[in-house]
């Protein structure tokens, strides 16, 4: 209970800091909104999914990918924030307090989760404006957003590890983004994985990012007419695969990040 209390205190500290710097939220929204506009109105008429070539079908197919990309790109912010705290010596001040060692990282990732949730709400409103619609009940839609947030929380622990490993916030930002581009684009986020070359298709099918995207599409009811999911197990059972991937990432990278934090603060 002490560790939980300490984590909530650190989370509150980070949320207050975020509230005083609204540019962080605004700039975090610009990129996903640009992706929505570009892929919907520039590429939407040229990309076919399933048996339909309508812009509306691709618009609904696309949005789960944009949502997932948005929550994973928050990794860079998490890493930069922790690297900044390390660089300014704030972590040394936390060390002098009688608090759980893992609370600093847990509090930071929880604050990032709240920010990601707010970003998703705004992005969902923008998606509705450009024509995105869901075709399932409210429970399934909320479950889809829950899987997206779980993936974002899992990736924030990867960002935490990167932030503890590099020396400057700038390096954390670069290190947090460079590997995300191949991860998100070699997936089913923007195109049907069935249309990829064989070696890329297998990577996309077993990509944890793809599992969450596919699960969200099913829960939102955004699978286009005639769409056939790949035969790979994660694509046939995307909800379960998404839960497994996110849980494994959290357990693995939280362990590594807390161990790195203790070593860095020792």
**What is the pLDDT, as a whole number, of residue 247?**
97
- Total domains present in the chain: 1
**∠ CA 45-47-52, rounded to 5°:** 85
Quote the CA–CA distance of 99 and 160 in Å, as a whole number: 19
Could you tell me if 13 and 104 are in contact, meaning their C-beta atoms sit under 8 angstroms apart? no
Nearest alpha carbon to residue 253 among 164, 178, 183: 164
pLDDT digits (tens, 9 = 90+) for 48-64: 676 566 677 888 888 99
Per-chain mean pLDDT for the chain: 85
Q: Is the pLDDT of residue 169 over 90?
A: no
Closest by CA position to 66, among listed 179, 189, 181, 238:
189
8 A C-beta contact, residue 188 and residue 227: no
Q: Which of 42-46, 54-58, 172-176 has the lowest mean pLDDT?
A: 42-46
pLDDT of residue 15: 81
Residue pLDDT, tens place only, 231-260 = 899 999 999 999 999 999 999 999 999 888
pTM here is: 0.89
Q: What is the pLDDT of residue 206?
A: 95
Question: Which residues span the domain enclosing 258?
Answer: 2-264
* 136, pLDDT greater than 80: yes
Residue whose pair of structure tokens reads 């975020």 in the numeric block: 18
């Amino acid at each position: 209970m002490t560790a939980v209390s300490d984590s909530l205190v650190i989370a509150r500290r980070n949320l207050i800091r975020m509230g005083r710097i609204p540019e962080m939220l605004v700039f975090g929204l610009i990129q996903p909104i640009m992706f929505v506009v570009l892929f919907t109105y520039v590429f939407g008429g040229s990309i076919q999914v399933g048996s339909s070539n309508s812009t509306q079908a691709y618009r609904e197919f696309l949005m789960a990918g944009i949502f997932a990309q948005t929550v994973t790109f928050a990794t860079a912010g998490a890493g930069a924030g922790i690297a900044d705290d390390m660089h300014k010596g704030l972590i040394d001040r936390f060390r002098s307090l009688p608090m759980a060692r893992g609370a600093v990282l847990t509090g930071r990732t929880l604050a990032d989760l709240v920010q990601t949730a707010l970003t998703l709400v705004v992005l969902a409103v923008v998606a509705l404006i450009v024509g995105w619609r869901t075709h399932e009940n409210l429970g399934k839609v909320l479950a889809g957003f829950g899987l997206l947030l779980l993936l974002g929380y899992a990736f924030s622990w990867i960002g935490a590890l990167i932030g503890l490993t590099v020396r400057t916030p700038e390096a954390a930002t670069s290190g947090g983004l460079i590997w995300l581009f191949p991860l998100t684009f070699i997936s089913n986020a923007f195109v049907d994985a069935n249309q990829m070359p064989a070696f890329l298709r297998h990577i996309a099918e077993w990509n944890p990012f793809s599992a969450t995207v596919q699960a969200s599409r099913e829960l939102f009811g955004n699978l286009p007419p005639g769409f056939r999911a790949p035969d790979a197990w994660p694509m046939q059972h995307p909800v379960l695969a998404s839960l497994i991937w996110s849980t494994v990432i959290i357990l693995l990278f939280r362990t590594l990040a807390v161990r790195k934090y203790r070593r860095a603060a020792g």
